[in-house]
Structure 1
């Protein structure tokens, strides 16, 4: 199938001396590529702080306008979130469409959302972003972006009421409508989580920067330890390939079981609206027994990526969940792998020894409540023997006159249930 042509854009950024400026501009280029665009030209300016009216200085705005006129590139992507007046003034000064970093990320999310919940979450974030940015020149674009769902568009204009005022009221109604729908979906998801928790299966959540390899890692684990009907999660080498949280059950050879979830990836300066909107999706991380932070070991900016992940987790209230750090994609580096120092693992999701090392580390963290005991189960209670064989690690079995003798490694909860059958050596 022929690929859709990429839209050329100009990227602009303000260097105020921040240590991560070059990294943020590289990331902006990756975001542009993820939105099926391509960078035709990159413009930078060194200023101690943004111009309050136009972001760039007057001379740079004139330079931008000349580039737009000469090259015919009529979209400018800005490496920061702009105020409504900055967007308006830049559009007037350059005769180009201005998309700030937040708007770009929202567009990517809008294009990638698949499930009803993800679509609603993105729509809510876009509406909240657009509400303070309404102005007449953008009203038609607003209609196109948000008029198709969540409570209606902006086509009905009341007599005696400005287009902007009507749009503002309609957006607010849409926000209320989407919030109501999301509340119902969130309650259903919370019920599912509670049911899983009642099953007493420990849960592990993969978190980390977008495109660090979380989905690839999850697929490797599901292939080896998932149920046969479990589907693989979508993988593609681009930012925000997946937005929806996927949950799969893993069953290991010793009958230990856990739930593994793959959460939406993070990026620096992730819009506040999206963090809030995706809070329910990220609840999988908040309720997990263990977080596995997946880091692209081959990326020179990995330290900044880890800081972004930890900052985002803090923003959504995930502060006291145990974590191990997986430096993935070691096969793209000169590093020896798999290797482990404490809770830090260097590995490749494509390597079976790496997966074995990760499983061992996860099991150490989440199965610490297991106990080993000897049971003598009467033959008349054969269903208990069957249960233990299916749900515990049976280390030894012998048949005696009084019943079946088993040495079993099992959850504390199961030990308590079958305590009356415990025997001492």
Structure 2
């Protein structure tokens, strides 16, 4: 089988019986084991696997050979036999050797957290760019697993020039093919990146602010995006429902136009291959004027999820503690308040009122969304320039233009003149001056 066609789970149809385990390693427990197992189950369900059982193992001393202890490995093997398990999902990163040894000792096809997330991304990527990014990440992941994945690769084959010299092993040839393919993918993604940069440059010249939604996967970003834009982006109670970035125009009070971007959801321990591969996509976040961090405030691990999102933003260079002045403005939105009980909701409301950059909403019911839009308008207006202009009463077109695109602070009529104090972005004032050059400022 071609090295570029093989998938980690292609031997199993949707509905395959899976055992999910979470090995809790020393010093790495940012969230509780129950929450981590629930998330791993959600990842498995996202590609149609049937999770038969979940189990938490505390690993005091990770083994280089199998990660888990010998007794734990035997327990997994027994569960696999008793429950007729097809697939073992290990919610941790495995080396190629650990993966191979677990398969041999448990008799179960094994996939780790990175491989599972890559499978989901491979299934969900809808655009050409998304597919390029996923393939690059998948090849990077598989490059170190050729020994485990392709048992036929150790045989020798004669070379014909274009496939390598005489005596080159199949594994060496496939590794070279992977390197060549990855180099081509990177060149194609660089072209995509240049195109995106041109689009961003055009948007910067236009007077429209860019607002990026970020957050943990399944926090409700796409539901909020659809509510604000009347779009139909896939919004399901499912991890990684959105992969490819989506941008739409939105209307905000006192703002002529703004661009809203929906991005891939973050997740704890996001594979390094995906962080690198999706950097071009996430540059939409880096270049945004305002970042809206959407949180599922009803989730039991919402604080840990917030920390994971902020850490990824730091890894991407979006947040820099040493350069706060040049960072995008950030707003935190506590979503899914409709799922809170009355007491919890009151406690959180009191907490949110103590912060200027925190709002509570339900994207599902629409509660708080209008207040959120007004807050976005106020944030955008903070960078506006306030000017007074004098118009003739007959200059109705100019007065209507100002009312449609800016915030009118005051309007005084004196006989046949109108003095207007308005707040607009510098770009919009430039448009006004060009379009209504005859107006006295």
Q: Normalised by the shorter chain, which TM-score bucket?
A: 0.7 to 0.9
Following the alignment from structure 1 to structure 2, what is the Cα–Cα distance between the partners of residues 40 and 353?
Answer: 37
Change in CA separation of 1:269 and 1:170 when aligned onto 2, cut-off 3 Å: same
After TM superposition, give the deviation of residue 222 of structure 1 in Å.
1.2
What is residue 10 of structure 1 aligned with on the other side?
Answer: 19
Segments of structure 2 that go 5 or more residues without pairing to the other structure are 1-12, 154-162, 320-326
The answer to whether the 8 A contact 2:88-2:108 is kept is: yes
What is the TM-score when the length of structure 2 is the normalising length?
0.82
Q: Pick from 198, 205, 217: which aligns with 2:205?
A: 198
Query: Does structure 2 retain, via aligned residues, the 8 Å contact 1:13–1:79?
Result: yes
- For the Cα contact (< 8 Å) 1:120–1:182, is it kept in 2? yes
- Aligned pairs for 1:267-346 (under 5 A) are 267-319=267-319, 320-334=327-341, 335-336=345-346, 340-341=353-354, 342-346=356-360
Report the Cα distance in structure 1 between the residues aligned to 2:30 and 2:194, rounded to whole angstroms. 42
Measure, in 2, the Cα distance between the counterparts of 1:195 and 1:353.
35
How many angstroms does 1:21 deviate by? 4.2
Contact conserved, 1:377 with 1:421, CA < 8 A, in 2?
Answer: no
Partner of 1:66 in structure 2?
A: 78
The equivalences for 1:101-112 within 5 A come to 101-112=113-124
Give the match's secondary structure for 1:281.
helix
Tell me, yes or no, if the aligned pair for 2:21 and 2:89 is still in contact at 8 Å: yes
Q: Does the residue aligned with 1:204 lie in a helix, a strand or coil?
A: strand
Q: What's the TM-score once normalised by structure 1's chain length?
A: 0.85
SS in 1 for 2:368: helix
Deviation at 1:44, TM superposition (A): 3.2
1:410 alignment counterpart: 424
| Matched position secondary structure for 2:135 | helix
CA distance in 1, matches of 2:174, 2:82: 35
C-alpha displacement at 1:305, in angstroms?
0.5
Aligned counterparts of 2:400 and 2:376: Cα–Cα separation in 1 = 27
* Equivalence for 1:350: 364
Partner of 1:86: 98
Residue 208 of structure 1: CA displacement?
Answer: 0.4
CA contact (8 A) 1:12 1:78 kept: yes
Compare 6-15 and 252-261 and name the one that shifted more. Answer: 252-261
Partner of 1:148: none
1:264 aligns with 2:260: no
Q: In angstroms, what is the RMSD of aligned CA positions? A: 2.9
Tell me how far apart the structure 2 counterparts of residues 114 and 353 of structure 1 sit (CA, whole Å).
31
Number of residue-to-residue matches in the alignment: 399
The equivalent position to 1:178 in structure 2, one of 185, 189, 211, is 185
1:361 is the counterpart of 2:375 = yes
Q: Structure 1 stretches of 5 or more lacking a match?
A: 143-155, 224-230
C-alpha distance in 1 between matches for 2:40 and 2:90: 9
Q: Deviations for 1:287-311, whole angstroms, at most 9, x for unmatched residues?
A: 1111111010111110010011001
In the other structure, the counterpart of 2:139 is 127
Q: 1:232 to 1:87 in 2, by over 3 A?
A: same
Deviations 1:92-151 (CA, angstroms, capped at 9, x unpaired)? 21222110110000001001000111111111111111111211x512799xxxxxxxxx
Structure 2 match to 1:139: 150
